Amino acid sequence: MTFGDDFISLIVSFLVALAGTTVGVYAAFRLDNYRDSQSEKKARKRVLSLLHYELRKNLEIINLIKQVISAVKIVGDYVDFPVPYEHPSFSIYEGISNKFELLADTVSFVGVDAAYHNFLVLDDAVKRYENRAVVALVQPNLEIQKQLVKQVIEQRDAIIEHLTPSEKGNDIFTITKSAISALDREMNILDRRFWF
């Protein structure tokens, strides 16, 4: 072997080693990116799943609230104001508020936020209804009691109207169902997304 052959052999060995190192580093970066992507995907899916669960549960609760407060009975001077025994839940929504960056670029975020805003409005109205109903039931002054009963019935009617599906689709049921559908679509997209 001559010096030229040795030099070419050395250059070829160096280039092969360089190519092997480059491929190895690239593969390591791809693997690391894949793991990060999978980790973020799992975290996002977990957040979406939790919100999905709470929205479905709240849909059942608001249905019960409508049934309960629609059952107001007025018999003579006696008024029976049933009060809901369960309120919409906000624990998951509030618990993951610091993880909203996981949802920022999702189509479901706006719908979920709108659904929870409606739950807050409803919950506030139901609490006012319950407070007035309790005060009306224990009020000894008949004149004041009549005024309170009128307010409770107005409050009840406002809640029932809020819970009645509208043609515009801006009622709490339609908004919540739409948010649940958006979450379903988002989770399906995450399931189908590939890393390469």
Q: How confident is the model at residue 20 (pLDDT cuts 50, 70, 90)?
A: confident
pLDDT on residue 53: 92
Answer whether residue 78 shows pLDDT above 70.
no
Dist. CA 81–CA 138, nearest whole Å: 12
Dist. CA 58–CA 186, nearest whole Å: 20
Answer whether residue 92 shows pLDDT above 60.
yes
107 compared with 147, residue with greater pLDDT: 147
Closest residue by Cα to residue 171 from 93, 100, 128, 118: 118
Strands (E), 37-132: 73-75, 78-80
For the chain, give the mean pLDDT: 79
pTM of this structure: 0.71
Answer whether residue 103 shows pLDDT above 60.
yes
pLDDT on residue 193: 61
Spacing of C-alpha 5 from chain mean position: 69
Mean pLDDT confidence for 105-119: 78
